[in-house]
Amino acid sequence: MTTSQVGAAYERAAKENRAALVGYLPAGFPSKAGCIAALTAMVQSGVDVVEVGLPYSDPVLDGPTIQAAADRALANGTRIVDVLATVEAVAATGAATVVMTYWNPVLRYGVDRFARDLAAAGGAGLITPDLTPDSGPDWLEASDAHGLDRIFLAAPSTTDERLRLTADACRGFIYATAVMGVTGARAQTSSLAPTLVARLREVTDLPIGVGLGVSNGDQAAEVGGFADGVIVGSAFVRALLDAPHLEAGVAGCAALAADLAAGVRRR
């Protein structure tokens, strides 16, 4: 088994006495080239780990901001081959790059084929929000075969038994969803997050990234005070949605990444 690229990114951040910054955009949004430009700018401005979203027509866990971005990506004709091309381009920056996807597209593509092609593109692993470890034995096998990290989600409602099961199956980090409900930037971070992180620390030594809600450097500093990673998605999407043109959107993503990167450093 190769060394976890994602784990190494978290280790580098920990050595700097800070949380890792994880940034998300869906592939193909606002265009195929525009997504690569924005993600590259985010890495250059301080993002440690990149999540490339695979646009899906039924994103049940995503809020309206990410749904709007996914709809545009699908309208642009974004397919799995474009997701893999985005991964390849972003991984070339040196950032650990993972795909975040619902499970059905992976099943349709072929689990081992997807793992093989993701690894060939330089991808580090997969975040699977609607797949549990005990319902994905084929993914556990394929991720081992191709040296990929596998990142499952834990929620405040998850039982202690399932937290342990989830943690044991993860590699790279554990994705702690800080709020109940769909994704989206929020005015305040969740009060449930510190408790969930503390519960996870009882069952694992893996890094714990907290997502769903962070939108600025102050919130990143707050979450970085108790978590190993700060995950930001909707705020980056919003920077592109609200921009009058691509160049402004890319600049907005870079400025947001810089603000968040400064936040995790002053936790």
Residue 179 confidence class, pLDDT cut points 50, 70, 90:
low
Domain 5-265 homologous superfamily, CATH: Aldolase class I (3.20.20.70)
CA distance 31 to 73: 7
pLDDT in tens, 141-171: 999 999 999 999 999 999 999 999 999 999 9
Pick the closest to residue 155 from 174, 140, 142 (CA basis).
174
Active-site residue, 51 included: yes
Give the integer Cα–Cα distance in Å for 141 and 208: 23
Q: Mark whether 222 is an active-site residue.
A: no
* Strand segments (E) across the chain: 20-26, 49-53, 96-100, 125-127, 149-151, 153-154, 174-177, 208-211, 229-232
Q: Which of 11, 48, 51, 247 is catalytic?
A: 51
**Whole-angstrom distance, CA of residue 148 vs CA of residue 146:** 6
DSSP 3-state assignment of 38?
Answer: helix
**From 33-42, 62-71, 115-124, the region with the lowest mean pLDDT:** 62-71
Listing DSSP states for 214-230 in one string gives: --SHHHHHHHHTT-SEE
> Model-level pTM?
0.93
User: How is the chain split into domains, by residue range?
Assistant: 5-265
Catalytic residue, chosen from 11, 58, 62, 205, is 62
